[in-house]
């Protein structure tokens, strides 16, 4: 089956984010030994935002990964800034916003695309693992959003990238599932507090996505992709990016506090 040009990242931009300044937290892609690996979600989001006309601050804890994404943003003829930040640190959650706003001359968009998973089952997850996962997957989103709200220009948009693991217990990693489920509550509060300045906040909820991280997870756990998948495939990172860019754009101007589920229908069918 031939995928649409959007799904493989070959469609031209349409200027939907022209003049916008977008911070993507988690903009790098994990290194892969494959000769031609797919992009990760954060990198695809950053590149597509640039293709649609935005300047992009590429934030990641891996400087090399952030630099590689920034180079792709510049290939789209847009300004890029590299911001090094490990949002597991509360101080970094504030500095990533301040540094990005300074580099781009302000911010009109924020994408939070970070997440880790530790432990296995309730009995196999320690308190330290639980706290580490929540520090990255939940606390960081709360702290970055809290720092960004006063900085974001009126009419801005915030997008949280969650996971279909938040919808049902399927991964066997309870800290990951619970931390991703908590993002909806944070998103709703950001949306509520942002409304006075027409700042929207929404959530993209992808299921299995073909990324280097996803491929590594499937290598470790073959059952992950053994089940029947909608349309016979996983999503691509570009499909996650298009959902995210739509929520950043004026095309979704009356969509707020909304979880957009990107799973091909999987959670509805089985």
Task: Give residues with Cβ within 8 angstroms of 195, minimum separation 6.
Answer: 256
Task: Give residues with Cβ within 8 angstroms of 114, minimum separation 6.
Answer: 25, 26, 42, 87, 136, 137, 140, 141
Count Cβ atoms within 10 A of the Cβ of residue 85 and give its class: 0-12 exposed, 13-18 middle, 19 or more buried: buried
User: Active site includes 242?
Assistant: no
250-254: Cβ within 8 A, 24+ apart: 250/16, 251/16, 252/157, 252/200, 252/202, 253/200
Q: Which two tokens stand for residue 69?
A: 């994404």
- In the numeric block, the tokens 């490990």 are attached to 86
Q: What is the bridge-based pairing of β-strands 80-84 and 235-236?
A: unpaired
Q: Provide the 8-state DSSP code for 249.
A: S
CB 79 within 8 A of CB 70: no
> What are the phi and psi torsion angles at 25 (to 5°)?
-90, 120
**Active-site annotation holder among 65, 115, 142, 176:** 176
Catalytic residue positions?
Answer: 176
């Amino acid at each position: 089956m031939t995928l649409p040009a959007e799904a493989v990242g070959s469609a031209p931009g349409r200027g939907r984010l022209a003049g916008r300044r977008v911070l993507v937290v988690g903009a790098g892609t994990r290194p892969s030994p494959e000769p031609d690996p797919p992009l990760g979600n954060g990198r695809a989001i950053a590149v597509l935002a640039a293709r649609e006309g935005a300047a992009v601050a590429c934030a990641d804890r891996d400087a090399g990964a952030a630099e590689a994404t920034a180079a792709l943003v510049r290939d789209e003829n847009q300004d890029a800034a590299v911001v090094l930040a490990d949002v597991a640190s509360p101080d970094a959650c504030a500095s990533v916003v301040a540094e990005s706003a300074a580099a781009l001359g302000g911010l009109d968009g924020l994408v939070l695309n970070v997440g880790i998973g530790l432990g296995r089952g309730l009995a196999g997850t320690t308190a330290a693992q639980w706290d580490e996962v929540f520090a990255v997957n939940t606390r960081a989103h709360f702290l970055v959003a809290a720092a960004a709200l006063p900085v974001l220009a009126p009419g801005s948009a915030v997008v949280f990238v969650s996971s279909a693991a938040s919808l049902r217990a399927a991964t066997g990693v309870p800290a990951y599932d619970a931390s991703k489920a908590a993002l909806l509550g944070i998103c709703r509060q950001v949306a509520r507090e942002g409304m006075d300045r027409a700042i929207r906040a929404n959530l993209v909820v992808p299921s299995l996505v073909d990324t280097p991280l996803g491929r590594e997870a499937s290598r470790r756990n073959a059952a992950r992709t053994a089940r029947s998948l909608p349309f016979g495939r996983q999503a691509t990172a570009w499909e996650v990016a298009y959902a995210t860019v739509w929520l950043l754009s004026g095309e979704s101007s009356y969509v707020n506090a909304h979880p957009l589920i990107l799973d091909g229908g999987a959670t509805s069918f089985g």
